[in-house]
A and B are shown apart, each in its own frame.
Chain A
Amino acid sequence: MKRLDRSELIFKIFAYVLVTVFVLTTIYPFIYSVSMAISSDSAVTFGRVVLWPVEIQLNAVTDLIVGEWAKSFWIAYTNTLFYTFYGTIFSMTLSIFAAYALSRRNLVFKRQIGFFIVFTMWFSAGLIPTYINYREMMVNNRWGIIYGFGVQAFNILLLRNYFNGISREIEEAAIVDGANEFQVLSNIYLPMSKSALATITLFYALNRWNGYFWNMRLVQGTEHPLQVVLRGIITNASNTDDIFNYPYSEFSLAYAAIVLSIIPIVVIYPYLQRYFARGVNVGGVKE
């Protein structure tokens, strides 16, 4: 162990304390949500839950999973899974193809195509024209939501830069052996850029999973994804003047819905975080 002088030691203690406080603040709302979801009616109503659950009940959670609210909740959940799954595949396919094509050195009209894509980062038509366009392009059903959203110029550039950094020698060897462009892409480029692919997949999937406004605006009722239904449940719960005849507080229901909606993220996230911590590097992006 290196010797630390006094200022270094003080700073180190300071760092440990502050980081711990920050992390506890970060994690507190999650623990609190779980506790509120499974605490008894009176504990929630009279504000006796501070950190851990008080007088545990599981009715709010079970009513969402198998009981009273299960039907609309699961429809919404399945919708979100549908949008996330197909949407991410759609976005990734387009982004990978575009990034690969743009990484070809002798692409005809390379500059023009690059500009065509980059321009969308500088200027967008705005919310109203975008909405009018979605109406005209029939983005008002499940498949519309899939094809109408999801390719971001920034992600294409990120991936293109990554592809540019891959050595051309292996590729040339493969071409000599008779590989075509699709084979070069799938056998050389994709396996060599796993962390960039994982990062971009994560962000596309998150956008789909977390998206609210346009889904709420463009599709109706049973096609609504989880976030829209979740918002509805919470809005109802906050309107506590209504009579609520269940063996738990309406707040427990709201917190239970929140917890159930973030479980997939919390479960998958630890496996993916090592990729994006390496893959994201905004400072290094350059045309």
Chain B
Amino acid sequence: MGPVRPMSRGGDIAIRARGLTRRFGDLVAVDHVDLEVPARHVYGFLGPNGSGKSTTIRMLCGLLTPSAGEIEVLGLRIPAEAEALRRHIGYMTQKFSLFEDLTVRENLEFLAAIQGISRQRTRGRIDALVEQYHFGERQKQMAGTLSGGQKQRLALACAVIHEPELLFLDEPTSAVDPESRRDFWEKLFELADAGTTLLVSTHLMDEAERCHRLAILDHGMLVADGTPAELTGKLAGRTFMVEAREPRRARRVIVDLPGVLGVSQVGSRLRVLTGVDAAGSDQAGGVRTAVADALDTDGQQAAVMATPPNLEDVFVAVTRRTSSIPERAA
């Protein structure tokens, strides 16, 4: 990790939330989420659309009032001390929220002023950001005419212009090509190295894998959290590959077998995730045999081989917990 900023508030924990809940009418968008985000980490929120990621982020930076629960961000109680918090955070919204009819430089100048950077320092700071985020040629271009990747870069530059301790990024790369995404993540790690805490929401597995730590949200509930390695480690032995001549036909045979939690096709192979029984004990071995037998009975030639679990498996495992084996087996 990079140098520790001496001024950092709240010690080693940047964000702490207990029983965080938000209702919109009858809909419970966030349901009793407990959260602990360590300082100077890239912390990921992984979940499908509508899982409550944006709502949680908005509550954490004081834009939405929680229906219930307690929040402490950088040692400040939110929403009571949200105004004080605003000086120390950067927030990059899901939708591009800069001014499309201002130029790149004008947007930076505007945010520098709003964030209270002195006139003397503004010029130097903007020059540095323009350099760092590769806007040298495009300073006078209207923000609205930038490409998707450039817009995200500009949004990030604006969000960090006042060098916040904590940066919230709400699905920052959802509309960006893979190359730009890679560059963007480089910048995020540079920021983390410089001592910034980052909270990034995403629905992309490969992005989630890059995070130091990760929370998986589903229907407003936090269903798992830990480092990517911890999360995948829990599934050790529960995943295997099936290589079949007709993968789609094989899939139909496998998918309804008891103990099979998820089957996804990866090229000509099938990736199978097995569940745990009611007692919580692993049945991977048994399921593997059952799958091989079923394919054999169906007259399909297939090879079954072990494969390490990935975050997608974790996601499937934790979000399908409710409709798990006992029901399928019935």
- Chain A bound to chain B: no
